[in-house]
């Protein structure tokens, strides 16, 4: 099989050391023969961007100012020419096995209606009766998102995944707005499109790419989830015993989250 070009898009912001580590680990642990590397930086400043230019890549989308995750993704995508896009944020380190990307591309080539193969994100349950052709490593359709009683989960994740450019063109660009809203809108756009399916290699989920836990997260989504987990016992008690206070407190919490996000205290 003649394998097509894959664009590996690294998305970063003010974390050059981690970006450099992520790119080096990707090159070291990926043996795919046709890759272009693109780095998109969201306005980290001239000094950091000068360092980024020293990282071996085929394209650099270096914004002069911070515009948010959606705009950063879109800027990087404009420099990507592959048939498939491998999306990697700077806090994810590739561990291999080296043939993971070749096997994923072979599955997508054999199954054109598979638009995304997730290597991370929520552990959405695979349908073990729907094994996909193309690879000796088992890969299955994930028809439904993980059920979670606390918050909505999605089949799409901005964590490491391989996506066809055809599917990306169908869904459209990211909304250039605050990070959480941009992510949720894209997740829902993917959820609502009827054309492409998602899949996973169960043996490789959260193993091919592992999150660097030493990296400070800028994610408002992560911050809000941790805050919700901390406040959940109190919220449940208020919901049972004092509905008016619960409703006011809930509205106040999400208003504060919105302010923190817009002030870039969380990104």
Q: Is the confidence at residue 115, as pLDDT, over 80?
A: yes
Run of H or E residues at 257 = helix 243-262
Q: Which of 121, 92, 94, 75 is nearest to 35 (CA)?
A: 94
More confident residue, 220 or 8: 8
What is the H or E stretch that residue 262 is in?
helix 243-262
In tens, the pLDDT along 174-222 reads: 988 777 788 889 999 999 999 999 999 999 999 999 998 666 555 544 5
CATH of 6-211, one of 3.40.50.300, 3.90.550.10, 3.40.50.720, 2.160.10.10: 3.90.550.10
pLDDT of res. 259: 66
Confidence band for 16, pLDDT divided at 50, 70 and 90: very high
The angle subtended at Cα 13 by Cα 123 and Cα 88, nearest 5°, is: 35
At 220 the pLDDT is: 46
20 has a pLDDT exceeding 50? yes
Q: Distance between CA atoms of 5 and 36, rounded to whole angstroms?
A: 7
Residue 52 CA to residue 37 CA, distance in Å, equals: 12
The residue extents of the domains of the chain are: 6-211, 220-262
pTM exceeding 0.75: yes
């Amino acid at each position: 099989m003649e394998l097509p070009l894959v664009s590996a898009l690294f998305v970063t912001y003010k974390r050059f050391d981690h970006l450099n580590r992520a790119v080096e680990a990707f090159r070291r642990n990926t043996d795919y023969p046709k890759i272009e590397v693109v780095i998109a930086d969201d306005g980290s400043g001239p000094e950091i961007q000068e360092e980024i230019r020293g990282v071996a890549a085929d394209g650099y989308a270096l914004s002069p100012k911070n515009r948010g995750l959606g705009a950063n993704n879109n800027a990087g995508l404009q420099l990507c020419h592959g048939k498939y896009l491998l999306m990697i944020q700077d806090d994810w380190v590739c561990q291999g096995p080296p043939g993971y990307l070749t096997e994923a591309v072979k599955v997508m080539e054999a199954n054109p209606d598979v638009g995304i193969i997730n290597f991370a994100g929520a552990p959405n349950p695979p349908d073990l009766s729907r094994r996909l052709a193309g690879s000796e490593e088992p890969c299955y359709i994930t028809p439904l998102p993980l059920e979670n009683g606390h918050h909505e989960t999605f089949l799409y994740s901005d964590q490491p995944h391989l996506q066809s450019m055809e599917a990306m063109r169908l869904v459209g660009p990211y909304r250039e707005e605050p990070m959480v809203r941009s992510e949720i809108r894209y997740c829902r756009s993917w959820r609502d499109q009827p054309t492409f399916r998602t899949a996973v290699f169960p043996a490789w989920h959260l193993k091919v790419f592992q999150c660097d836990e030493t990296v400070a997260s800028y994610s408002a989504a992560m911050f809000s989830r941790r805050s919700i987990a901390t406040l959940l016992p109190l919220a449940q008690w208020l919901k049972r015993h004092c509905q008016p206070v619960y409703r006011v407190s809930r509205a106040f919490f999400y208003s504060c989250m919105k302010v923190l996000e817009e002030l870039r205290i969380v990104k």
